[in-house]
């Protein structure tokens, strides 16, 4: 009886892990000015499942915070291409591992 409860708990934890919000960082090639930043901001502000967008021209990076129903990496890449930029690298960070730098 106790064992079954433990198993159920593990299952819930495993599911929470899979469905949890993520932080996704995308290195983007082709950002050159404030209008580029604006355009990427708008692209992701409209995307379902994205709760926060940060675009850094200096770092040439887009950082997204997603909800549990995160958009797929393919969808994110395609959105960047559609906006006229090239995604060069995508890094998915689990929430626990995010280093709060500011």
Residues 39 and 33: beta-carbon distance below 8 Å: no
Q: Measured from the CB of residue 35, what is the shortest distance to Cu ion in angstroms?
A: 4
Cα angle 16-18-22, degrees, rounded to a multiple of 5: 95
Give least dist CB 40 to Cu ion, A. 10
55: Cβ–Cβ under 8 A, 6 or more apart, which residues? 31, 37, 40, 41, 61, 62, 63
**Alpha-carbon span 60 to 37, nearest angstrom:** 9
Name the residue nearer to Cu ion (CB basis): 32 or 91. 32
Using the minimum distance from each CB to Cu ion, give the nearer residue, 31 or 50.
31
Question: Which residues are near Cu ion by CB under 5 A?
Answer: 32-33, 35-36
Closest distance of CB 56 from Cu ion, Å: 14
5 vs 35 by CB, closer to Cu ion: 35
């Amino acid at each position: 009886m106790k064992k079954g409860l433990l198993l159920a708990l593990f299952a819930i934890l495993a599911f929470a892990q899979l469905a949890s919000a993520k932080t996704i960082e995308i290195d983007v090639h082709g950002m050159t000015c404030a209008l580029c930043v604006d355009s990427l901001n708008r692209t992701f502000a409209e995307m379902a499942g994205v709760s926060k967008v940060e675009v850094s021209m200096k770092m040439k990076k887009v950082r997204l915070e997603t909800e549990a129903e995160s958009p797929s990496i393919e969808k994110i890449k395609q959105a960047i291409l559609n906006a006229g930029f090239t995604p060069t690298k995508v890094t998915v960070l689990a929430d626990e591992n995010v280093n709060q730098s500011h």
